[in-house]
Amino acid sequence: MEQHSLPTEVILSHPHQTIGNLHLDWSPQPGSYLDLEGKTYTVLERRHRYQFKSGRYQLQKIALYVQSAKRPDDLNFVNGNWMIGDTTCRYNARSELVRCAVNPSGPCAGCRSYEPVYS
């Protein structure tokens, strides 16, 4: 299946204003990070905008609502997914939004609750 890029409007949530229009070849989900003009943003919401054409609705544009963010230093790409924290720990949430239940704000280094994951 061929991946097409769609026009994407990037909208800052507060103050509410458009900060860019671009074509993306990936579909950012809420919680994803997006770099735009040297700044990093977290995607809060994604909306699809459709147009009725030739008797059917076609996806015309994506709107991403974002806020300024700092990408975590311990963000890792594991098996096709972004995850925060030490992924060798049993308590890691395997999420790009939350590190773990024990120490959600981190850091993982030196955490007294660390337990290695055994396969």
* Residue 54 φ/ψ region, left for φ over 0, alpha for ψ in the -120 to 50 degree band, beta for the rest: left
How far is it, in rounded angstroms, from Cα 10 to Cα 40?
12
Which residue has tokens 């609750």? 113
Could you state, in order of their start, the residue ranges of all structural domains in the chain?
Answer: 6-68, 72-111
How far is it, in rounded angstroms, from Cα 6 to Cα 16?
22
Q: Which two tokens stand for residue 95?
A: 């999420």
pLDDT of residue 3: 53
pLDDT of residue 2: 45
Identify the band that residue 73 occupies on the pLDDT scale cut at 50, 70 and 90: confident
Identify the band that residue 119 occupies on the pLDDT scale cut at 50, 70 and 90: low
pTM of the entire structure? 0.69
